Chain A
């Protein structure tokens, strides 16, 4: 049952990748069963702005803008660090990291990590 649904998720993810190219809106399932979610930073926005995920999943932020950005939550105490044009950073998400985040340079850029069970 578990294997089946994982296989289904894998093929779904492959289809999503084929359609959207390098920046799938859907995460992809890794061999350990966790999902890697992709957030593009483009035109001064996090896309998608909200990611629903499970504890242990990872999020990869990729900066496609020409200016530097970060994904940072001062309150929850985490940050990708500075992402220059073309840089990506992946973080494994813990329960403490849930909630709102911003770019530390651009406070109008807002994102959200929502933990679902």
Chain B
């Protein structure tokens, strides 16, 4: 249920039935999970760059800068860990779904300006972080086998929860 909600929030509605039939996030191995996490971080960095380019709201700008700083730090740490483990992240159905969901969202948001953009960005950040938190907490952490990888995801979860609360504050502030 968590997973289905998370996927819906991430914009993967059309793939829902095929996911139910074939694969679920809980079936992914550690290297596929690492790939999903790297992809999810990279997507949030792309959203943030869009916000820096379009928004003139200082609160949105500062939030976006924090997203770039923090998600880059998490990804750098993930790459360092994968290098240490001499492992390569593996592309998979969920990474691909996230990517196509993000393309659609970026196209949609890129057409907006001013307060319309700010509202859309803030609400998307709130929903996106909620969905990623659901995935990490309920599908990934219980299934990760490597202790170092698990520790990194636990650290990531704490960071994403702070971002979620921050995004919630931002959404309320824009109303």
Contact = CB atoms under 8 A, between A and B. Distances in A.
* Chain A contact residues: helix, strand, loop or mixed: loop
Nearest to B65: A105
Given A44-B158, A106-B66, A68 B166 contact: no
* Chain B contact residues: helix, strand, loop or mixed: helix
Contacts of B91: none
B162 interface: yes
A66 B166 contact: no
Contacts of B19: none
Contacts, number: 34
Nearest to B73: A67
A28 to B, nearest CB: 28
Given A66-B74, A67-B73, A106 B158 contact: no
A64 to B, nearest CB: 10
21 contacts: A43-B155, A43-B158, A44-B159, A65-B159, A66-B155, A67-B69, A67-B70, A67-B74, A67-B159, A68-B73, A105-B66, A105-B69, A105-B70, A106-B162, A106-B166, A107-B166, A107-B169, A108-B162, A108-B166, A108-B169, A109-B162
Interface of B: 66, 69-70, 73-74, 77, 155, 158-159, 161-162, 165-166, 169
